[in-house]
Amino acid sequence: MFEPARIDRLFDLSHTAAAPLLRTLGYPWEALPKIGDFIRRLIETLPREEYRRVAEDVWAAKSAVIFDSAYLHGPAVIGPETEIRQCAFLRGNALVGAGCVVGNSTELKNVILFDGVQVPHYNYVGDSILGYKAHMGAGSITSNIKSDKTDVAFDTGSGRIATGLRKVGAMLGDHVEIGCNSVLNPGAVVGRGTSVYPLSMVRGFVPAGSIYKNAGEIVSRK
């Protein structure tokens, strides 16, 4: 087990409704095939005095703001005080936490967004998990499938761990900042509190508490 990529090293599970699922697993990508079924079960437990049905298999907290131009496909749950802004595209299997921003033309598919996540401008987030208060700058995206369509392996820097999955996006720890127009390659894992420079191409593992300038220059925060 590569300890820095474990769920308990990346995330504070008190900030997501997905905690019952995630605490049973080791690596975060192990949750990806389970998100849809988990959301369906979660919908059955939502307090109806606090949540409303906004589309088939899509439930949103009554305090959430959803623009008319957003497209919502279930199953999905949208948490309290979250904004789903104009032309956002939720393709299904999306668990969006409290106080999140899903912005203009942002697309979500098979994801868990912890509370306070911001993906506010032209982002694609697929087959990914974004930790508490993670933020993706304008135009930054997760790439979730390899060009040769083979299974994704996680690169630890000293070896590779098979995920057994053809589609794996990025796993961003709590308080991660991704710079504008960056690409997170399939299976990228970014540790807590790390910042990634704009226009970066991130692959494999980036340690917690780092500043990612480019593939050959990753420095610790002082």
Q: For this structure, is 121 an active site residue?
A: yes
Considering 15, 73, 121, 175, which one is annotated as catalytic?
121
198 and 181 in contact (C-beta within 8 Å)? yes
10 and 131 in contact (C-beta within 8 Å)? yes
**Cα 18 to Cα 96: distance, rounded to the nearest angstrom:** 10
Selection from 66, 157, 154, 78 nearest residue 111 by Cα = 78
Tokens of 75: 């199953």
- CB environment 46-67: b (16+ within 10 A), e (fewer): beeeebeebeebbbbbeebebe
Strand order in the sheet with 177-178: 65-66, 83-84, 101-104, 118-121, 135-136, 177-178, 195-196, 210-214, 217-220
- The bridge status of strand 83-84 relative to strand 65-66 is parallel
Q: Catalytic positions, please?
A: 121
